[in-house]
């Protein structure tokens, strides 16, 4: 059996991280491929914010967790050593607000996925997260929004798109009401999309 160890990077409440961990750790989740059975295993949660709720969620789920700062990520000594120590094969960014350094993108080329709360390439880039995204969508007059799961490269929100799901933007929509629609899409689709991509990637 091949085990694929996953690190989840998150900066906020961690609801998508929790949903992904629960999905992958479910007794009903097992994958067989041409190369045998693959176990997709979330092993550590890393956050750049010491007060992020995702750390409490990880603790309750029995997942190791670590806090680092922007310098730790930029310099590499702390974060890179953690990824090596946990024998990480794959990284998932679930509400992570810092840009992944180019050296990690290169080290895990094609093996980092990000969840973004809009239909990229619209409303992506630096500063486009949370209510900033939803407010921009509403102000643009677009009639639909959604989620995008994409491979991470050296540019913000630029990598190959592997999945999108859409929702309507109604008259009188607010950032809060649109966020609720987006969150439902995330909870519905994100775990299975991540799992399917990883299995295909490591079955080749």
Beta strands 112-116 and 64-67, pairing class: unpaired
DSSP string spanning 42-77? Answer: EEEEEES-TT-HHHHHHHHTT-EEEE--HHHHHH-H
Please tell me which residue in 116, 134, 160, 183 is annotated as part of the active site: 116
DSSP-assigned beta bridge partners for residue 115: 149
DSSP code, position 54: H
Whether 57 and 82 have beta carbons less than 8 Å apart is answered as no
Catalytic-residue membership of 116: yes
Residue whose pair of structure tokens reads 């999945």 in the numeric block: 163
* 3-state DSSP assignment of residue 53: helix
DSSP code, position 160: P
Provide the annotated active-site residues: 116
């Amino acid at each position: 059996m091949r085990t694929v160890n996953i690190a989840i990077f998150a900066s906020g409440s961690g609801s998508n991280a929790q949903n992904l961990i629960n999905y992958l750790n479910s007794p009903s989740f097992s994958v067989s491929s041409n190369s045998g059975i693959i176990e997709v295993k979330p092993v550590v949660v890393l956050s750049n914010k010491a007060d992020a709720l995702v750390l409490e969620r990880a603790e309750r789920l029995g997942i190791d967790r670590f806090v680092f700062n922007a310098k730790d990520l930029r310099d590499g000594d702390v974060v890179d050593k953690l990824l090596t120590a946990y024998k990480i094969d794959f990284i998932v960014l679930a509400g992570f607000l810092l840009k992944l350094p180019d050296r990690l993108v290169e080290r895990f080329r094609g093996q980092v996925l990000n969840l973004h709360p809009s239909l990229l390439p619209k409303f992506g880039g630096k500063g486009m997260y949370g209510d900033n995204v939803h407010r921009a969508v509403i102000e643009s007059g677009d009639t639909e929004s959604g989620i995008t799961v994409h491979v991470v490269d050296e540019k913000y929100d630029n990598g190959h798109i592997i999945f999108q799901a859409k929702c309507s933007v109604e008259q009188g929509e607010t950032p809060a009401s649109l966020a609720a629609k987006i969150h439902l899409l995330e909870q519905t689709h994100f775990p299975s999309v991540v799992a399917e991509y990883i299995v295909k990637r490591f079955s080749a």
